[in-house]
Amino acid sequence: MSFRHPDRDQIRIEDVLSALGNPLRLAVVRVLDAGGEHNCSSVLGVLGVTSKSTMTHHWRVLRDSGVIWQHPSGRENLLTLRREDLDTRYPGLLKAIMAGALGDEAAQAVSAQAR
Amino acid sequence: MSFRHPDRDQIRIEDVLSALGNPLRLAVVRVLDAGGEHNCSSVLGVLGVTSKSTMTHHWRVLRDSGVIWQHPSGRENLLTLRREDLDTRYPGLLKAIMAGALGDEAAQAVSAQAR
């Protein structure tokens, strides 16, 4: 089964922001941003998520918004961040979001330690 | 009536992205980003939106996510983009989003002309 993806020029910024404006989807993109090839199971493993059915929805949102490629590979689906497309359409956006997510995490760790 | 707003360090990137991941809210922020003081009515006027009740929800999402200040001023509410807070927490994010929205608009105008 092969999936539909928007072309680069069909990507819309509100869809990208909406896709990334969810903790689990943002976490997925951070895993993909770190590099390497990932299938759905390996991303779920990194995130400690076990419900495949919940993720079906999230994969679709990420795919339909143009944030990831999702392609069949054997019995699994291979996930890739559409970095080149996003960087071309929205220079600096992905970098700012990834840095922001890292900053949030550091800030939360500090506030947790202070308790 | 005065509104609750998150402190700068309570802002979370997924909430900011989710708030801006909506065409109407993104349009509001673009109006505020262009500068000047705005009350709710004047923003709605610029956008050509007449339903105040719909916007009550959108103001709340923008306020709760830390994207705007909303303060009573006479019989109206004054809206301000929390640019300094956002730029401090997420350097480059707002700029990339505003440039991206402008780019989308230009791309859509070109494709409309080509039809």
pLDDT of A111 strictly over 90: no
- Per-residue confidence band for A109, with pLDDT thresholds at 50, 70 and 90: confident
Q: What does the pLDDT average to over A19-29?
A: 96
Shortest distance, CA B74 to any CA of chain A (angstroms) = 33
pLDDT digits (tens, 9 = 90+) for B24-79: 999 999 999 998 779 888 888 888 887 888 888 999 999 999 999 999 988 889 99
Interface with chain B: mutation pick from A17, A30, A93, highest number of B CBs within 10 Å: A17
What's the pLDDT tens digit per position in A69-98? 999 988 889 999 999 999 999 999 999 999
| ipTM of this complex prediction, to 2 decimal places | 0.92
Query: Of B16, B91, B96, which has the smallest distance from its Cβ to A93's Cβ?
Result: B96
The answer to whether the CB of B79 falls within 8 A of the CB of B68 is yes
What are the phi and psi torsion angles at B69 (to 5°)?
A: -95, 140
Q: What is the DSSP code (8-state) at residue A99?
A: H
CA distance to A1, A2, A41, B47, B72, per residue, from A76 (Å) = 10, 11, 8, 45, 54
The CA-atom distances, in angstroms, between A6 and each of A10, A82, B8 are 6, 11, 35
Task: Examine the pLDDT at B1 and tell me if it is beyond 70.
Answer: no
